[in-house]
Amino acid sequence: MDSRRLHIWQPVTCLKRAQIVNATLNYTDRGLCLTLIDRNNTEVDIIYDKMSPIHDYVWSFRYTGEIP
């Protein structure tokens, strides 16, 4: 029997839109970690913890405003 399961992922909704004041990107033993902090000092960690022998799981990441 197949043991794969789908997991529901809910993006963080507590960060204030257009009020991110600090964004840091670190590569640690936990994986690639992006930390976002808004003006209310709400901190969110986004961790890419999948590993492979050639570290190819994170293909790209973009944090930018969109052109209207």
Q: How far is CA 2 from CA 5, 50, 59, in A?
A: 9, 21, 28
Task: Measure the CA–CA gap between 22 and 15, rounded to whole angstroms.
Answer: 12
Tell me which residue range forms the domain holding 35.
15-51
Structure tokens at 55: 């570290």
Q: How far is CA 25 from CA 4, 8, 37, 56, 63, in A?
A: 31, 25, 12, 17, 11
Check residue 3 and give its pLDDT: 77
pLDDT, tens only, 10-22 = 667 788 778 889 9
pLDDT, tens only, 13-61 = 788 778 889 999 888 787 788 898 999 998 888 888 776 676 666 666 6
Whether residue 62 lies inside any domain: the answer is no
Structural domains in the chain (count): 1
Q: Is 10 helix (H, G, I), strand (E, B) or coil?
A: coil
